[in-house]
Amino acid sequence: MNPLKCFRHLVLMVLAYAALVAETSIAPALDLGGLTIRPLWIVLALAVASCEGAAVLAWAAVLGFTSDCLRGNGPLGLDLVLAATAVSLLPAAWTARPLRSITTVSFATLILTLGIESVSRLVRIGAVESVPQWLSVTLPTTLISALGDSLANSLVVLAALLGIRAIQKPLTRLLLPTPLTN
């Protein structure tokens, strides 16, 4: 493993811990009109963007397990399986090599959050007593709520990446050698 990859994993580890802290302290205190930010899935999208191959799945498993531990109900390991499955269902072009496009990373955040959150919530709600009621009330409510959360998550990623790029450009220009003049 080259030093750059080690550094990437180290950064992801720090981000995963920050996400864990944010999930238990800052995120519940945020009032976004009913929307919930899930920093763990943001880190998962960043892992998809920066890692490749089996490393992406390993990160999905770690972050899914952390999410399982933060939820009070439902089986332990559900989010782990969902995160791993969601990541493995992503287009191979996204997981085979690091992503450069900000739009793609934001879209990956949207898909991952929507897929994992909606299925996880539906499973955790429990047994279906009345199928018509489940189809007409529970399913649409859960999907709309998960879609709102995933949109909020992807907007956060989009804003953060645009901000980083805006800082990066002047820095790169500053570090480049001055062109020789006649």
Partner 1 sequence: MVRSTTSWKPLTACLAIGLVLASVPEPIAETIRSRVVDVARPGQQAVLDTAERIAAWRSWAHSPRAADLERHELDAARLEISRLRLANSRLTLQATDTSSADPQHPPLVTTDLVTVRVLGQETIQAWQAGRILDQGRGLSPESLVVEAGHATLDLGRDRGLARGQPAYAGRRVAGRISRVGRWTSTLQPLTDTRFRGLARLARPGRDQPVFSTRGMLEGTGDGFCRLTLVPATAAVTIGDVVYTDGRDQPDGWPMVYGTVVRAEMPDGAPHWDIRIRPAIDLGQLKQLDVLTRRFNRPQANSQGVLAQ
The CA distance from 167 to 44, in Å, is 23
Which of 70, 135, 144, 164 is close enough to bind partner 1 by CB under 8 A? 70
The CA distance from 60 to 7, in Å, is 18
Task: Kindly list the distances between the CA atom of residue 68 and the CA atoms of 29, 73, 115, 171, in Å, as whole numbers in the listed order.
Answer: 20, 9, 15, 40
- The residue type of 26 is I
Interacting positions 12-41 with partner 1 (CB under 8 A): 17-18, 20-21, 23-26, 28-29, 36
Kindly state whether residue 9 participates in binding partner 1, applying the rule CB under 8 A. Answer: no
Which of 32, 88, 136, 167 is close enough to bind partner 1 by CB under 8 A? 88
Kindly state whether residue 68 participates in binding partner 1, applying the rule CB under 8 A. Answer: yes
- Residue 154 β-bridge partners: none
The CA distance from 13 to 173, in Å, is 29
Kindly state whether residue 66 participates in binding partner 1, applying the rule CB under 8 A. Answer: yes
Q: Which residues bind partner 1 (CB under 8 A)?
A: 17-18, 20-21, 23-26, 28-29, 36, 53-54, 57-58, 60-61, 65-66, 68-70, 72-73, 75-78, 80-81, 84-85, 88, 96, 121, 124-125
